[in-house]
């Protein structure tokens, strides 16, 4: 769970602060999203700390950087509340850097080589981040009725591309059985079932992304609401895919 939560934080932060959203949506969206990401980043830090193994340097760095990430995101949230927008943006970008550094540290704990592990984590971050921010943005259209379709169309395109990359990341993990914890769900560790569950959920997410793109072609405002409903489904399938895939990451 530490891996999955860290991926979600890194991806959502990157899509929030490193895309043109700053010039497209009202500042309230950044306040709301940063508040949610702060809670998730705290959960990622606590999970990382609970998963540490004595004497493991990569694990120690992962926990330390996860704390730095949470602190940066928390600072960005406080500054957004105080309407100190420029410093908040700087803190948000610092959170992006710290969150990616956390994934780099976590790659050092994997059963596979560092480059493959880092690719898997970054792919997961793009996968979860694009869908998480897309869901939140879809809700924001209910608040900002004048917001154009460009941002949500861009997130849907990013999610579609990220799904394909995520599928490749799952394939790099292999399909052979590995020793992994059954603490989440015994089905995920039964033989080599986990990667097939992950791949199936990725395919389901791809279908949802394609349906979302088709829905957004409609001109009525209800098209965005329908697309947001599809994003709800995508969040379920995407996080299920990542949990299944990451049960094999450390073994």
Token code pair at residue 124: 């997961």
Confidence check: pLDDT of 45 > 60: yes
Mean pLDDT of 162-178: 86
Mean pLDDT of 223-239: 91
Confidence check: pLDDT of 190 > 60: no
Q: DSSP states of 43-107 as a string?
A: HHHHHHHHT--TT-HHHHHHHHHHHHHHHHHHHHHHHHHTT-HHHHHHHHHHHHHHHHHHHHHHH
pTM score of the predicted model:
0.90
Instruction: Report percent pLDDT > 90 for the chain.
Output: 70
| Confidence class for position 186, pLDDT limits 50, 70, 90 | low
Confidence check: pLDDT of 21 > 80: yes
Domain limits, the chain: 1-109, 113-251
The pLDDT score that the predictor gives to residue 178 is 62
Token code pair at residue 224: 């965005």
The pLDDT score that the predictor gives to residue 115 is 95
Range with the poorest average pLDDT among 97-101, 138-142, 188-192 = 188-192
The pLDDT score that the predictor gives to residue 13 is 97
The pLDDT score that the predictor gives to residue 222 is 80
Mean pLDDT of 129-136: 95
- How many angstroms separate the Cα of 234 from the Cα of each of 150, 163, 191, 241, 249? 20, 10, 26, 10, 22
């Amino acid at each position: 769970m530490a891996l999955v939560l860290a991926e979600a934080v890194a991806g959502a932060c990157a899509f929030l602060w490193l895309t043109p959203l700053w010039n497209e949506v009202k500042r309230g969206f950044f306040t709301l999203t940063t508040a949610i990401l702060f809670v998730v980043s705290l959960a990622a830090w606590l999970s990382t700390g609970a998963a540490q193994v004595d004497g493991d340097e990569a694990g120690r760095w992962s926990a330390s950087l996860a704390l730095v990430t949470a602190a940066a995101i928390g600072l960005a949230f406080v500054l957004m509340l105080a309407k100190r927008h420029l410093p908040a943006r700087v803190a948000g970008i610092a959170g992006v850097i710290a969150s990616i550094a956390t994934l780099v540290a976590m790659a050092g704990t994997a059963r596979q080589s560092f480059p493959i592990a880092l690719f898997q984590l970054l792919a997961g971050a793009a996968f979860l981040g694009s869908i998480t921010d897309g869901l939140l943005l879809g809700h924001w259209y209910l608040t900002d009725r004048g917001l154009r379709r460009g941002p949500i169309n861009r997130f849907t395109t990013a999610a579609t591309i990220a799904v394909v990359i995520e599928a490749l990341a799952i394939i790099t993990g292999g399909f052979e059985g590995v020793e992994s914890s059954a603490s989440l769900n015994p089905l995920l560790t039964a033989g080599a079932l986990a990667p097939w569950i992950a791949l199936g959920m990725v395919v389901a997410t791809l279908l949802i992304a394609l349906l979302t793109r088709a829905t957004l072609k409609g001109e009525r405002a209800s098209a965005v609401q329908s697309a947001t409903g599809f994003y709800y489904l995508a969040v379920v399938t995407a996080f299920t895919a990542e949990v299944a895939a990451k049960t094999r990451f450390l073994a």
